[in-house]
Amino acid sequence: MSVTQNVSIRQNFDETCESMLNQLINVVVTRNYNYHGVAYWFDRVDIGLVGFAQLFRLCASYNYNLTRKLMDYVVLRGGHVVLGDIPKPDTSLYTTPSDTLEYMIQSYKELNDLAISLHKMADENQDANLTDFLEAEIIRPVSKVIRRIGVLVANVRRAGPGLGEYQVNKHLKVYLTRMVNPTLESVNFSSII
């Protein structure tokens, strides 16, 4: 008898849903990696937009926590986590705060679309557990994040480049410093932005 026996705890957890959950995990891991890159780009001495750097660190923290929840969920349901390669970020995306925030909105929309597709599949398979999890942990919170980042994009555009971006950065830095735990542990991102 082998040391590891195949004990199945899987119940009403379709393999296609598991595969899509793993795809979702890989998307979130990639976003985490990209947001760290963006954060450190804004934090450079020649860029110096520390408020935007804090925002993207917060986004990376949110994605890290979401990754853990997704992986825990897959294992809880008796599935296997399958991680893929993380591609190098496209640094041409971070040229201005406005462009970078647009990239962020687009990436959250893609995440939400994938979660909604998975939700439909789970609903077709009558997997109420997965649909509830997706609604509570991804679909509702990410919808709020998209709206709040959209408001931030509007403010950055309204303020304009140069001094306007600096002013938004300054207010963003103060706002995030007041609202965020310095260790960034268990941050509820959707309530901050």
CA 16 to CA 98: how far, in whole Å?
Answer: 37
CA 159 to CA 108: how far, in whole Å?
Answer: 24
pLDDT of residue 1: 41
pLDDT of residue 179: 58
Residue 126 lies in a domain: yes
Distances (CA, A) of 190 to 59, 82, 132, 143: 10, 27, 18, 9
Q: Which domain holds residue 163?
A: 15-84+93-191
pLDDT of residue 121: 96
- The amino acid present at 14, given as its one-letter code, is D
Residue 4 lies in a domain: no
Question: Could you give the dihedral angle defined by the CA atoms of residues 181, 143, 67 and 105, in that order, rounded to the nearest 10 degrees?
Answer: -90
pLDDT of residue 82: 95
- Domain total in the chain: 1
Residue 2 lies in a domain: no
pLDDT digits (tens, 9 = 90+) for 90-139: 877 778 899 999 999 999 999 999 999 999 999 999 999 999 999 999 99
Residue 131 lies in a domain: yes
pLDDT bracket for residue 186 (50, 70, 90): very low
Residue 9 lies in a domain: no
CA 64 to CA 123: how far, in whole Å?
Answer: 26
Dihedral sign for Cα atoms in the order 71, 72, 73, 75: positive
CATH of the domain at 71: 1.20.1260.10
pLDDT digits (tens, 9 = 90+) for 56-92: 999 999 999 999 999 999 999 999 999 999 998 887 7
**Rounded mean pLDDT, 46-61:** 92
Q: Please give the biggest Cα pair distance in the chain.
A: 70
Residue 6 lies in a domain: no
Q: What's the predicted TM-score (pTM) here?
A: 0.83
Show the tokens assigned to 8.
């199945």
pLDDT of residue 39: 93
Residue 5 lies in a domain: no
Residue 8 lies in a domain: no
Which residue carries 């825990």 as its tokens? Answer: 72
